[in-house]
A = this chain, B = another copy of it.
Amino acid sequence: MPETSPRPLRADALRNRERLLEAAVQAFSRPGPEVTLDAIAREAGVGIGTLYRHFPTREALVEAAYRNELGKLCDAAPDLLDHLPPDRALRGWMSRFIDYLATKRGMADALRLVIASGANPYAQSRDRLLEALGRLLAAGVAAGTIRADVDAGDVLVNLSGISLAAGERAQADRLLDLLMDGLRHHRAG
């Protein structure tokens, strides 16, 4: 229940939150190597303490900053299913997901924690990802191409593992192919 709101945020707090998010999105999209949280707070015109109150960890900030874009990625799943056979839709979506993580520097590390912990109250993106992936898998199962005994959460974790560990894009692709083979409905040869 991440959405319990015992009290609506005070007006100034809400304003600061918005400013922080705006600054974070900007800072994260800049090509520069790393962003210090102090810099984001400064840019947003608030104290560092305020940043940490709203976003207790770097991951929380990253998750919130990318929630929109990540949502778009999830929305793409039904579209893919409309135009492709389920297994190819699944493969395509996973590829996009990896692409997405690769472009966002520092995102993968943050997302590891987001994805890993179901208990994380800041992980509402996780639910959306799970839903999108679950839909793709279910379509494959219905079509008889994908095994029925695989958990979407496991696949999601596997994806984040690939994005974390893979060095170059080509390697990630090979690992995705391997994963797809494992997911396929087949009998031993």
Residues of A near any B CB (own CB < 8 A): 112, 115-117, 150-151, 153-154, 157-158, 160-162, 164-167, 171, 174-175, 178-189
Contact = CB atoms under 8 A, between A and B. Distances in A.
Contacts of A174: 151, 154
Contact of A161 (B166, B185, B187): B166
A165 B161 contact: yes
Contact of A181 (B115, B116, B171, B182): B182
Number of identical protomers: 2
A157 B151 contact: no
A49 to B, nearest CB: 24
Given A116-B167, A157-B175, A174-B151, A186 B186 contact: yes
Nearest to A181: B182
Contacts of A178: 150, 154, 158, 179, 182-183
Nearest to A172: B157
Contacts of A183: 178
A139 B184 CA distance: 24
A187 B187 CA distance: 7
Contacts of A166: 157, 161
Contact of A187 (B117, B160, B182, B189): B189
A158 B165 contact: yes
Nearest to A159: B165
Contacts of A179: 178-179, 182
A30 to B, nearest CB: 24
